[in-house]
Chains A and B, each alone.
Chain A
Amino acid sequence: MLEVRLKKRLANFTLDAEFSMPTPGVVALFGRSGCGKSTLVNGIAGLLHPDLGRIELDGRVLLDTAAGIEVKPERRRIGYVFQDARLFPHLSVEANLRYAQRRAHATVFVRFDEVVGLLDLGPLLARRTHQLSGGERQRIAIGRALLSQPRLLLLDEPLASIDSARRDEVLPYLETLRDQLAIPMVYVSHQFDEVLRLATHLVVMEAGATVAHGEIGEMSLQAPLRSIIGPDAIGAVLDAQVLGIDSASGLQRIRVGHGELAVLAPRAQAGARMRVQILARDVIVATEEPQRLSVRNRLHGSVTRIVADDENADLISIEIGGATILARITSAATRDLGLRPGLAVWALVKSVSLRGRSLRSAVPISCGSPDA
């Protein structure tokens, strides 16, 4: 468990943060630029001295202002990947990595060769830091943080200063860390697509305060998140299981809850997990099984919740055997169809986005399904 509670009055805002998450996991701190995400991360690292607070990581108290405990940053064993990498300019790439390794006196869970292999740092080791691209710098910064053998990894918008092409080059490495090293991460971002790919939990921040937190799949129902990402980005985030390629259509069959979807996706081993997002605006609700429609992906389930999204639209939660998807429809439609919790409905899914790769496939995925 990671439990964080921090209060700090600053010149232009007050940090008032509280969240917890199970470890290992990836919690994303999400919010608009300047809402205090970096300040919170600095507080967790110990670089910011809070007025009040408590931090506990896997049973170890790192901060407890009430009890007078404040572990120094150099003793917290928290790795920090800064937005601007902060590689030591007077050292080579390898010396940067060794710097961290030499100071990690605790149990080694990730070896030098392993880090170099995971992040493909081999060809860079002999270079000086000013000869590197933004993406390379961040990969080295991640490797350096890992070699300090941290119990928690903080990543403060590690992709913000990199152009979008390079971003896709670094993201898969972060997914590898999450899946192979099982190291808990706090990931700061204001890009919702990054959050969708990496996070298991989400903390939404606004004006210095944490306004909502929970598992990523449930978060679309939380108003603070909706107000930031806008109605078009609301949707269910689901972990689907790969069933296999449908030989007739060539599409990948995946299981979501007790339902099945066919999506256009690179080949993946049956049984692998795959993160998909189904946008609420791409889901059509029917109260009886529809016939003769172009939309092929249909899921049978029951309405669990109806939340008013704005004046004339509702968010309908539909449970499909252990998974919940969301549909955004007009309030008039809710009325006409007589939707109410418990009602059996058909959800027609116009489009499925793949967010992140499946565990066993090495190929990063980012493409949609056809509107077949």
Chain B
Amino acid sequence: MAWLSPDESTALYLSLTVAGRSVLLNLPFAILIAWVLTRGRFVGRTVLDAIVHLPMVLPPVVVGFVLLLVFGTRGIIGAWLDRVFDIQLVFTRNGAALATAVMSLPLMVRTIRLSLENVDRGLEEAARTLGAGALDRFATITMPLILPGVLAGAITAFSAGLGEFGAVITFVSNIPGETRTLPLALYTALQSPGGNSEAIRLACISFGLGLAGLMVSEWFARRLRKRFGR
């Protein structure tokens, strides 16, 4: 990447790792929450649904601020993580991944939930009469059927995560080489005199990555429809 400066390629690399980690962190939670929201019949389902979707409607700065309160060095979980596991989230790329994960959780839950709702429960019943227990059914019937949906959701979340700005800058600040991801680098370039050409290059990268992500995600969604289309 000769046409990118070392700082720019670091920002690109950071964005990719932060988005990747956020997706990996999100996946088990998103599947579990989507499952509970689709199949669960319990009091407080609507409340859980609302909480999961909150990051979509809240200003990202608020999300970052809440994360700071909870996962900060003095926060309930943050202090505990620091003491027990020696994990610091504030001002680190792991913290950026956490902020990105929280922001993209609703997106992933929605996609996975949609494919879960499309799964023919009759197939799970059939597996049941063939002797498959609950975990077995999930692993061998439900999961393979929703897999394209899960992948589509993961790719959309990854693409969105590349560009997470508000929550990241609030929670982990804008540290070059650690938390300065693509959008943060772009923002910094715009703030500095003569940074216009750099900003344009970074914007173009964001543009290309976003487009590619959406296209791959759509391709998986099509495969999903084909899998269900009998």
B-contacting residues of A (Cβ < 8 Å)?
A: 45, 47, 73-80, 82, 84, 86, 88-90, 99-100, 103-105, 129-130, 144-145, 148
Does more than half of chain B's interface fall in helix, strand or loop, or is it mixed? helix
Task: Return chain A residues, CB-CB under 8 Å to B228.
Answer: 89
Cβ contacts A to B, 29 pairs, < 8 Å: A47-B125, A74-B128, A74-B131, A74-B132, A75-B131, A76-B129, A77-B131, A78-B129, A79-B130, A80-B126, A80-B129, A84-B122, A86-B120, A86-B122, A86-B123, A86-B125, A89-B123, A89-B145, A89-B228, A89-B230, A90-B144, A90-B227, A99-B130, A103-B130, A103-B132, A103-B136, A105-B131, A148-B129, A148-B130
Taking CB atoms and an 8 Å cut-off, the chain B residues in 120-148 that contact chain A are 120, 122-123, 125-133, 136, 140-141, 144-145
A45 to B131, alpha carbons, bound, how many Å?
11
A148 to B126, alpha carbons, bound, how many Å?
11
Task: Return chain B residues, CB-CB under 8 Å to A73.
Answer: 125, 128-129
Task: Return chain B residues, CB-CB under 8 Å to A103.
Answer: 130-132, 136
B228 (CB) vs chain A CBs: closest residue: A89
Please tell me if the beta carbons of A90 and B145 are within 8 angstroms of each other in the complex.
yes
B134 (CB) vs chain A CBs: closest residue: A74
Please tell me if the beta carbons of B140 and A74 are within 8 angstroms of each other in the complex.
no
B120 (CB) vs chain A CBs: closest residue: A86
Q: With A47-B125, A80-B126, A84-B122 known to touch, is A89 a contact of B227 (CB < 8 Å)?
A: yes
Task: Return chain B residues, CB-CB under 8 Å to A79.
Answer: 129-130
Q: How close is B224's CB to chain A, nearest CB, in angstroms?
A: 11
Task: Return chain B residues, CB-CB under 8 Å to A99.
Answer: 127, 130, 132, 140
Task: Return chain A residues, CB-CB under 8 Å to B128.
Answer: 47, 73-74
Please tell me if the beta carbons of B129 and A47 are within 8 angstroms of each other in the complex.
yes
A129 to B120, alpha carbons, bound, how many Å?
15
Task: Return chain A residues, CB-CB under 8 Å to B230.
Answer: 89, 129-130
A77 to B130, alpha carbons, bound, how many Å?
8
A99 to B228, alpha carbons, bound, how many Å?
19
A80 to B122, alpha carbons, bound, how many Å?
12
A144 to B132, alpha carbons, bound, how many Å?
13
A148 to B125, alpha carbons, bound, how many Å?
14
A129 (CB) vs chain B CBs: closest residue: B230
A45 (CB) vs chain B CBs: closest residue: B129
Taking CB atoms and an 8 Å cut-off, the chain B residues in 62-83 that contact chain A are none
A148 to B140, alpha carbons, bound, how many Å?
16
Q: How close is B157's CB to chain A, nearest CB, in angstroms?
A: 23
A130 (CB) vs chain B CBs: closest residue: B230
| Across the A-B interface, the 7 shortest Cβ-Cβ residue pairs | A103-B131, A86-B126, A80-B129, A100-B130, A90-B144, A148-B130, A73-B128
Task: Return chain A residues, CB-CB under 8 Å to B131.
Answer: 74-75, 77, 100, 103-105, 148
Task: Return chain A residues, CB-CB under 8 Å to B130.
Answer: 74, 79, 99-100, 103, 144-145, 148
A61 to B168, alpha carbons, bound, how many Å?
60
B140 (CB) vs chain A CBs: closest residue: A99
Task: Return chain B residues, CB-CB under 8 Å to A129.
Answer: 230
Task: Return chain B residues, CB-CB under 8 Å to A148.
Answer: 129-131
A45 to B122, alpha carbons, bound, how many Å?
13
A130 to B225, alpha carbons, bound, how many Å?
13
Indicate which residue in A74, A78, A86, A88 contacts B133 across the interface (CB closer than 8 Å).
A74
Extra pairs beyond A47-B125, A89-B145 (17, CB < 8 Å): A45-B129, A73-B125, A73-B129, A74-B128, A74-B131, A74-B132, A78-B129, A80-B126, A82-B126, A86-B122, A88-B126, A88-B141, A89-B123, A104-B131, A129-B230, A130-B230, A145-B129
